[in-house]
Structure 1
């Protein structure tokens, strides 16, 4: 796998589809979404540490069953480790170490367990195939919106990374250590969140054009007069 010269890491983005022929890759889209829903519900309702750690081991095992390995698990989970640290920090500030550590760690772990199954679906599913397989359950328009949105998750993860790298080269304070200081938060908004919002709006317009080209009527997106009026 090639190196990313700009970031020094691997070029493969987080939560991106990885081709393979594993049982999870071949699993029908409906069954895959059902498995994901069960794992998410388990993350929400389980409270005992033993069950939660077992669920984490199960998620990791599914990554290996899909042939993704430690590298994909790390790329998909490292952002969730950051939110665990943030949640734990907030609990420690609010309740202190004695009363805040265990609950804060549990909440952070449950959030990670909530998102990992969705990352696994994105890693093992081509959205075009998922859309076809779920066509019996969802109307065509809704199916297009849902699975197009899922396809853009790894896209925006890559966009965040590229925007952050570019802005840091220009001197913006966007490293994790710098963002720990509130005085640098304006750089987060002005140099990362606002450009990302602009890119998201552009992408939404491109997705609407794609829907129109496929003959989908998403709230009048296929009406040239309405589009001209919005401009």
Structure 2
């Protein structure tokens, strides 16, 4: 229980704590995430990028997420940082390629942080409830179920990575920096992950069909927070009886 309150086990996993970001509706969180992501995409100079970085991390920690959560969420981006920086240095040379490579890598990481906060602080039922008046629920189910699989595939990637390293694949940080070994990343990580994704999608489709997905034009939503509010209001209305 203590581990649940101090951190989460996998990247982008919903964290059940009380924070101002958790209390926002799904629509507001999507609006904030979109605004931050657009801001990150348009900045080019160091000072605006620094401000965007500060805003993203402030938003992240305002949701009562920890440094351990942040490390789990962004550690996979270290590979793209190394690859992008190497490509820019190869194309533009040193030192001309340093800033474009660093800037692009940072922008990619920051672009995903608002979405990660959205996943960390929003339940699927709340997401679908907030948008059911605008988007058909079948599309919402497809979209948000895909989002909720992000922690699952992060865990799968970690397990595949460890298994392939035990089998002798060249996946150490020193090897990843060398383009000659990038084919090992594709054959040992990307292809098994794609196979697992296709299998998971098929299993999710069968599960949804078995539960009657699409049998009715409308569906209900189980909202834990709304249920807690109803129970709390009922407890307040119950008056103690004297003997």
Q: TM-score, normalised by structure 2?
A: 0.79
Residue 186 of structure 1 deviates from its aligned partner by 4.1
In structure 2, the CA distance between the partners of 1:61 and 1:90, relative to structure 1 (3 Å rule), is same
Residue 28 (structure 1) aligns with: 25
Residue 52 (structure 2) aligns with: 55
In structure 2, the CA distance between the partners of 1:197 and 1:52, relative to structure 1 (3 Å rule), is same
Residue 213 (structure 1) aligns with: 210
Residue 217 of structure 1 deviates from its aligned partner by 4.3
Point out the structure with max Rg over C-alpha.
2
Residue 198 (structure 1) aligns with: 195
Return 5+ residue gaps in structure 2 as ranges. Answer: 216-243
Q: Assess if the C-alpha contact under 8 Å between 1:60 and 1:73 holds in 2.
A: no
Q: TM-score, normalised by structure 1?
A: 0.83
Residue 103 (structure 2) aligns with: 106
Deviation string, structure 1 residues 161-196 (Cα, Å, up to 9, x no partner): 011112222222222322334444443333322221
Residue 127 (structure 2) aligns with: 130
> Higher relative CO (CA 8 A, sep ≥ 6), structure 1 or 2?
2
Q: How many Å separate the matches in 2 of 1:177 and 1:158? A: 23
Q: Which of 170, 173, 194 is the equivalent residue of 1:173?
A: 170
Give secondary structure in 1 for the equivalent of 2:213: coil
Deviation string, structure 1 residues 6-50 (Cα, Å, up to 9, x no partner): xxxx98111111111101111100111011000111011122321
Residue 65 (structure 1) aligns with: 62
Return 5+ residue gaps in structure 1 as ranges. Answer: 3-9, 219-231
Deviation string, structure 1 residues 83-133 (Cα, Å, up to 9, x no partner): 223222211111112322222221222112211111111111112221122
- Alignment coverage as a number of residue pairs: 211
